Structure formats: structure tokens, C-alpha cells
Amino acid sequence: MKIFIGTDHRGVEIKKQIKEYLEKQGHEIILSSLPNSENDDYPDFAFETAKKVTNVQESLGILICGNGIGISIAANKVKDIRCARVTTKEEAFAARNHNGANMIAFGGLSFELVKEIIDEFINTPFATEERHLKRIQKITDYEKGIYNEP
């Protein structure tokens, strides 16, 4: 699977660990091409990485910043992105299986927990239950400007 990873300066070290971990599993990892510095801004990494995910079918994205909140908000501004800030593997499952997330974001977590979260996210199938698909479709329709108020 092709997985895109973007991080601001607060996730540089864990990004390296994630890349190595996922490559050992056979995934193709593409890191953000933007340089990290003390003064970098998480929206830049969110936008760049999210656009790549939307351009490559069946790909996923991982974003890292101080706490995952800002970078996930920024990523969700990109059309066709559903990025969830997650802190547990249960949230990673729900993000993928219930909400159709194609990206996750986090920050400030141990590498052991990050591995569990990423494994759960990657190995969880996209939503299949009608109730979840209906909700995802409503989000997609709203994004396209065709949402009908209930």
C-alpha cells in the first residue's frame, strides 16, 4: 500500500521510526517533500500530504504535529479528505470503518502506541455497513454542494 506521511518539526523523529516500521511491512512510504525547520507550519504539510492522498487511489495518509488537532483540521480542508485525529487503536478502527477516513493524525504519543494505531488503521476495511456509508455520502454531498437538509 502507498502511504503518505507529513509532519511539522514536532514529529520528525517519530516519522523516521514510522517509515522504517511500515517499509519492513512492505508498504511504499512517501514522505513530505517540504523541509522541516523550527519555524515550519503544520498546514503546509497537511495540505501537501492530503493532496497526494487524493491523487493516488487506495492510498492512505499519516500526519503528525504537536497533538494532531491542527494538522487534522488543515487536512480536512482538502476536498475528498477525511482525516481523523486519533489517540487509540479503537479510534483508528472507528475512523476507518465507521467514518471512511483516508488519513489519520496524532502527536505526542509513544512509538509503541503509534504502531498499534497505524496497524489498526491500515488493516481495518473501509466502511461497508449501510448506516456508515449513508453518513459518509452525506459528508461527500455537502462537500460537493449538493447536500439536502433533512
Question: Which CATH class for the 2-144 domain?
Answer: alpha beta
**Strands, E, within the chain: which ranges?**
2-7, 28-31, 60-64, 83-85, 103-106
Q: What is the DSSP letter of 148?
A: P
User: Which pLDDT belongs to residue 23?
Assistant: 98
State the catalytic residues.
Answer: 65, 98
User: Which pLDDT belongs to residue 148?
Assistant: 78
Helix, strand, or coil here: 125?
coil
pTM of the predicted model as reported, rounded to 2 decimal places: 0.95
Spell out the domain ranges in the chain: 2-144
User: Which pLDDT belongs to residue 57?
Assistant: 93
Rounded distance, CA 123 to CA 111, Å?
Answer: 18
Rounded distance, CA 58 to CA 71, Å?
Answer: 21
pLDDT in tens, the chain (150 residues): 999 999 999 999 999 999 999 999 999 999 999 999 999 999 999 999 999 999 999 999 999 999 999 999 999 999 999 999 999 999 999 999 999 999 999 999 999 999 999 999 999 998 889 999 999 999 999 999 998 787
Radius of gyration of the chain (CA): 15
